[in-house]
Amino acid sequence: MRTVEWRGKPVWILKRTPEMVESLKKVDGEVADPQSKRTDFSETPEYALNEWRSIRKDLLVVVGICPHLGCSPSARFQAGPQPSLPDDWHGGFLCPCHGSTFDLAGRVYKNKPAPDNLQVPRYMFEGDNKLVIGKDEKGEA
C-alpha cells in the first residue's frame, strides 16, 4: 500500500491481488453498504458505485481517515483470527480507536461506530501508469 497526500489528507493506493478482489464477494452480507450507495459521509463517484469501489478491480484509492471521528485506520491485510478482529477476518482495515472495521474496498462492516465507508476521492488515469487524484472526467474535486 502506498500513501500520498491530497488536500492535507492521506490517500491510500492499494494494489489488490486477485485473492483480495475475490474476498470482497465473501463479505457482501457483512458490510453495511455493499454497493457504496450511501452518501452520509461524502458522495461516492459514480465509477466507484460497485463492489470493489474503484475504476479498476485491482486498484483501491481511498482517503485513509475513519468517518467516525477522523482517526487513521491501520492496514490489516492478513486474513484469519487476530486481536481486535473477528475469527473469519478476510483482510482490510481496523480503526483502533473505536473498533470500526473496513474490508479491502474500504466498506464499513455493519454495527460499527463509523457511519459510512472510507471516502473515495475523485481520481482518474492518464495513460496506463499515471493516477491523478483530485479530478476526473467531470472536473476538479
Catalytic residues: 98
List all residues 6 or more positions away from 8 whose beta carbon is below 8 Å from its beta carbon: none
Q: Per the structure block, which three cell numbers stand in for 19?
A: 485473492
Given a contact cutoff of 8 angstroms between Cβ atoms, the answer to whether 63 and 10 are in contact is yes
Q: Which residue has the cell 482495515?
A: 93
List all residues 6 or more positions away from 130 whose beta carbon is below 8 Å from its beta carbon: none
Given a contact cutoff of 8 angstroms between Cβ atoms, the answer to whether 54 and 105 are in contact is yes
